[in-house]
Structures are given as structure tokens and as C-alpha cells.
Amino acid sequence: MSQSPHTVDNPFTGDVAASVEPTPPEALDAVLERARAASRALRALSVEDRVKLVLRACEAMEKDTESIARDITRQMGKPLSQARGEVAGMAGRLRHMAAIAAESLADIILPPKDGFERRIAKEPLGVVLDLPAWNYPLLTAVNAIAPAVLAGNAVIVKHSPRTPLCGGHFARAFAEAGAPDGAVQALFLDYPRTEQLVGDARVDHVLFTGSVLGGHKMQAAARERFLHIGLELGGNDPAYVAPDCDLDKAVENIVDGAMYNAGQSCCAVERVYVHRSLYERFIAAAEPLVRAYVLGDPESDKTTMGPIAQPWHPAELEAFVQDATGLGARLVTGGRPTQVDGRGRFFEPTLLRDVSPQARLMREESFGPLLPVAPVDSDEEALALMNASRLGLTASVWTSDRERADRLARELEAGTIYMNRCDALDPALPWSGVKDSGRGVTLSALGFDALTRPKARHYRLRF
């Protein structure tokens, strides 16, 4: 029985932005067999040839920057300028991983031992299932695709229902680059079919980017298998504004870190603790910056904040605000769902002060343009509050004292600790979370580890 097409609305216009036919169940076998064959072909290529392949695919996607960016904007609503920036960021990650592939994937040769040769080879796993997220549909996809293909694996991309067309851009680029047939395939499946794919023995690794609930579902889907699932999950990322910081720069960067992409980022700044000596100045400086965002048509160059991607989410964001104010927080600006000229599902850029540590905003991921702020009296109080969440993706410390940053970094429970920056990713550094923010690593030289299998070679050269 054929399934009905899956449609996605444009978050600004309400028009149909995408309509895709789900991959029929009977086609999954062919998809998997093509991937298995492609993985063998990729494995047979030298690392140098895989690097050339990935760079050609990168060029193919860059050539289509404008159409890819508009595709992203129409499906999930981010301003077109930010969507173009995502294409550029994706290319940067591809190129970095390609640049470090030869060294990262080289055999580890152990020190000589009389009469023996010992080395550790890094072999590809086979087929990688990539389940990216809609908020950064290229960046969350490339975190798996780049190291997987460079290591010699084939990739099946099953993209989010919000951005179902984005996986196809990678598949077309790799085909244009001359990749083996099936090296990168894109399909669209509902959850039961995705669960079936996760449980299939022909899939050797899964990387899921999404919610904590989604991560639990992926683990449950693999319960009958000894399968490693990489999980890049949510964040409730804190910032601490220490008394010795450059306050103007801190405010500017923190507001941007909270509001960029309408706050729909797993590493957005979601809560801020400001030393009491700077607290009133911080609020006074942040308010005009929050008010300055221009909501509107995301395809207009004048727009600096687009609509909220998911239809139900503005009401959820309002519930976060009401919970905080019910616990004593003061609303400085924003706080409500809104439209622009009767169109779009927007949420007002929001600044709250005096937010209780018991508020949901200080404990859970809100995923919207909300900036809750609370005062603290010491580094120790800031540290305790920053760690008082079940999520641990990133944390930022705003200070002019490197030793203070190091001292806090040793105790902060997060995968990435920033000093004087936030909401940023460097592909030379590992991307990982702790606690409910996930497990596993993508990017950097360590990003190849989960996508390869160490094989020991222990040779006796003479008796």
C-alpha cells in the first residue's frame, strides 16, 4: 500500500514548502544493498582518492549555494543570509575533515619490539545511518557524512520531517562528484520505518541529532543489537558573566548566542548568570539589543530573525515564559507569540530578569529566542547553578582572567567550555555532550574513531 506524500509548510507564508513521497518499504532492501556495495567500493579507494571525492562534492554544493539556502529557508524559516552562512559552514567542515583525514586515518605504528611488527589499522565500519536535525540541516548532516565517507563508509541520510529535502543535496553532490553508486543516499521514512532501519543488521553505525526523547527512541530501536549509536542531543547551555569581563562585548555576544536562528540551536545560550556587581548594567545593555531584532520575511535582507519552525512551538515557548514569571521572574521585553502583517509564526525576542533556578527555562531546553538572566554573588554560586541541569552540551565563561576560566572549566559539566565566546563550533575540536546531551564525538581527529574499527596487526617477523 502506497503512503500519502509528506508535506511541509513554509513557516512564514503557510504555503507548501515541500512535498515528498516516503521511501516505500519494499525499496529499503535495495537501498541497503546499494550502500553495502558502495561501502566496499569506497573502502577500496585510497584515503587520498576519498579526499578528492569529498572536495569535489563540496564544490558541487557550493555551486548550488543559493538554491540550497532558499530550500532551507522555505522549509524551516531561518533568514536567507543565515542559510547561506550554513552552506559556507558546511563547506568549511568538509574541507577541514578532508585536510586531516590522511593523518587521522593512518595506521598507528607501535615502537619496535625484537622480532615483531605491531600496528593498529583503522578500518571502515560499512554503512552509516545519519539522522540529522532540522535546525541546521546541513551542519548536523555533514558532521557524520564527512568523516564517514573519508573513512570509507557509505552513508544513508534520513532527514528530519521538517527538512526532508536537505539530504538530497548531499546525495546529488556526491553523485556529481563521481562517488560509487549508493555512496551517499537520501530517503524519507516515517518513524516505524526508521526504527526498522536502525534495527537492520546491514546498518553498522547510527548518528542521531535531535531531542533527548528522540535519543531514547533510537536506543530502544537498537535494543536487539550491539550497535553503537552516536547521540547529539539537546542543550540548556549556561553563560557566566564574571565581574572582570568586558561587559559590552559579553552582552553583544551573549544576546547573539541566544537569538541567532531564533534560538533554535542546541548550543544556543539558554540561561545567563551575571555577577551582581554587573547585573543592572547587563540588563540595561541587553534590552536594546534584544528589542532591535527585525522579524519578517526570512527571504528579505532586512529580516534578522525568522519565524519559528514547528507549528506547536510558539505556544510551548509562551508556557516557558509564564512558568518563569509565575516563579517571580520579571519580563523585560517580549514574551508572546506574534505575526508580521498577519503572516508567520514568530515569537518575540524575549529578555527576562531575576529568573528562579526552579524555572523550567533554567533546567530544560527551550529552543527559542528567550534570554533568562539571574544574578549570582560568586564564581562558586555560578558554577553550582550552571551544573544544575541534566543537560551538558556547552558552557561559556566571560572573563579577562584565563586562570578563572580554567578553574571553572575543570568543574563545568559540559562537552565544550568557551571563554569569551559562545554558540560556535570549531571543526578542529571534538563536538560532544555529557549527561543527557548525548554521547559520542563528531568532528576533529577524534570524529573518525566512531566510524572506524581498530584492527590489531601483530606479526612475528622471525623465530
Cα separation, 331 vs 338, in Å, equals: 16
246: number of Cβ within 10 Å: 13
Contacts of 386 (CB under 8 A, 6+ apart): 238, 240, 273, 395, 412
CB-neighbour burial class of residue 325 (10 A; exposed 0-12, middle 13-18, buried 19+): middle
Residue type, 52: K
Q: Which residue intervals of 157-246 are DSSP H helices?
A: 166-176, 191-198, 212-221
User: What Å distances lie between residue 298 and 69, 79, 268, 314, 406, CA to CA?
Assistant: 11, 4, 20, 17, 40
Centroid of chain to Cα 285: 29
Q: With DSSP H G I counted as helix, E B as strand and the rest as coil, what are the percentages for the chain, rounded to 5?
A: 40, 25, 35
The torsion region of residue 432 among left (phi > 0), alpha (psi -120 to 50) and beta comes to beta
Among residues 48, 123, 224, 232, the one annotated as catalytic is 232
Catalytic residue flag (residue 413): no
Cα separation, 243 vs 422, in Å, equals: 18
DSSP 182: T
Cα separation, 196 vs 28, in Å, equals: 10
DSSP string, 402-437: HHHHHHHHHH--SSEEEES--S---TTS-B--EETT
Q: Say if residues 437 and 234 touch (Cβ distance below 8 Å).
A: yes
70: number of Cβ within 10 Å: 15
Q: Say if residues 156 and 187 touch (Cβ distance below 8 Å).
A: yes
Return the active site residues: 232
